[in-house]
Amino acid sequence: MSEDNGQVPQAHAYDILKVLKALPHRYPLLLVDRVRSIEIGERIHAVKAVSFNEQFFQGHFPGRPIMPGVLQIEALAQAAGVLGIETFELAGTGKLVIFMAIENAKFRASVEPGCLLDLEVEFTRKSSRVCKFKGRASVDGNTTCEVEFTAMIADAPAD
């Protein structure tokens, strides 16, 4: 229990329109399609529908399309971005959640077209400027990627 009133945080689902309001990412680099549940200040479970039409499949790899591991990490980071933006009420402020470090990344299985990639991320440490997260990507309950990462809350770059 993380709230002062002793209540467990409520979990909410987000459709793509709410994801677009939270994240600055857009096609072709938006890698979160839906949020199945978010517990503000705690954790998020998001989903990426992996389609054969993704641009990266043209070259990774012809004849054997596999989602690059770094894009799995990026998808987890974007899910963490939604969690951070919602936790710190940053939507519409121009603030960004930006990678600082990636640690202990492990790739366990391939992600292929047609998969629903589950993205589960939780805070391991949070402050108003720097947060640490632990993330796990999976397909049908089988882990494809695990990672710990650090992000900072920053102002958007000047035009």
Catalytic residues: 60
Cα separation, 79 vs 33, in Å, equals: 10
Strand partners, 60: none
* Contact between 82 and 75 (Cβ < 8 Å): no
Output b/e per residue, 75-89; b: 16+ Cβ within 10 A: bbbbbbbbbbbbbbe
Structure-derived torsion over alpha carbons of residues 64, 47, 86, 12, reported in degrees to the nearest 10: 180
How many other β-carbons are positioned within 10 Å of the β-carbon of residue 141? 6
